[in-house]
Structure 1
Amino acid sequence: MDNQADIDGVDAKDLVVTETSGSGYGQISINNNVIAIIAHETAKKVPGVAELQGSLADGIAGMIGKKPKDKGIRIGKESEELLTIDLTVVLEFGVNIPEICVQLQSAVKTAVEGMTGQQVFAVNVVVQGIRCPGEKKIEG
């Protein structure tokens, strides 16, 4: 992935989506944070996804104000037109992991493309853990 940008504001580059109608109105810029929120809200609606899990870097960024909806999501650009979205998730115990991941990839790709008009090259999913029934989220 070239030109990958974290969405924590340190290197948050705007993605430019040009008008497709040729109307000459100008450019529309969509910040990576917006794409991260779309991915987050979509991911948490997929049955079997317990939470998006941030990395150690996300934990450190949380100390300096990184928003919870950015946690576990990384947005990169394959080219000017193509996005790559990396998700780190915790799934519920007992689910079919490959099936849930494919549903997650499809849902996030469809939502981001539908809401932004930006093409998604890939949605990469890393399963960080499994949440057992009755297990509570540990806040750190």
Structure 2
Amino acid sequence: MADSSKIVLDDQNNGEEIEIDPSVLEVIMGIAAEKVDGVAEMHGDVKSGINRVLGREDRGRGVSVNIDDEHNLIADVYVSIEAGKNVPEIAMNLQKTLKQQVLQMTDLTLSEINVHVTGLEFPDDDNEDGSGTSQLFSDIDEKGKNESTRES
């Protein structure tokens, strides 16, 4: 495997090189991912947890960029989705948005963006009895109640 500590962009016309650290790409994608509608939170690893405890802001939290043997860029994104939202649609929007941002800012193309949905975030309710989850199934519950009252 090639040295994955830096991504080198070669300018064939004048022989100049630009080196980009993968953490820069992680920051770009982390900021862009937080702005996608339906994404509730980015989830990081142990390193980002330690940074948060120490009071450091970790903009790349929840994003990991790797380079495979063929020099392709692969990103893994770890997110929580807002409950009640269409998960596949949000994942596709994430992939599209992140590809565009990286291409626009660095002229690099990501070959893969793997979206890992690690959880659902429910809206904060004043009810502490757990009745907030019933809003997800309110149509089903109402139909079920109507049908059961008709049979009686």
Fold-level match, TM-score > 0.5?
yes
TM superposition shift of 1:58: 3.5
* Alignment partners' CA distance in 1, 2:2 and 2:51: 20
Question: How big is each residue's C-alpha offset from its partner over 1:25-70, in whole Å with a ceiling of 9 and x where there is no partner?
Answer: 5101111121011101110111000121113454246567875112
Assess if the C-alpha contact under 8 Å between 1:93 and 1:131 holds in 2: yes
Stretches of structure 1 lacking an aligned partner (at least 5 in a row):
6-12, 136-140
Stretches of structure 2 lacking an aligned partner (at least 5 in a row):
126-152
Q: Identify the match of residue 6 of structure 2 among 7, 14, 17.
A: 14
* Alignment partners' CA distance in 2, 1:73 and 1:56: 13
* Alignment partners' CA distance in 2, 1:29 and 1:119: 15
- Percent sequence identity is 30
Assess if the C-alpha contact under 8 Å between 2:28 and 2:60 holds in 1: no
- What's the TM-score once normalised by structure 1's chain length? 0.77
**What SS is found at the alignment partner of 2:59?**
helix
Larger radius of gyration: 2
| Partner residue in 2 for 1:44 | 34
Letter in 2 for 1:14: K
Assess if the C-alpha contact under 8 Å between 1:16 and 1:27 holds in 2: yes
| Partner residue in 1 for 2:62 | 72
| Partner residue in 2 for 1:109 | 99
Cα distance change on mapping 1:3 and 1:18 into 2, 3 Å:
closer
| Partner residue in 2 for 1:9 | none
- What's the TM-score once normalised by structure 2's chain length? 0.71
| Partner residue in 2 for 1:122 | 112
RMSD (CA atoms): 2.4
Assess if the C-alpha contact under 8 Å between 1:81 and 1:119 holds in 2: no
Cα distance change on mapping 1:15 and 1:50 into 2, 3 Å:
same
Cα distance change on mapping 1:53 and 1:67 into 2, 3 Å:
same
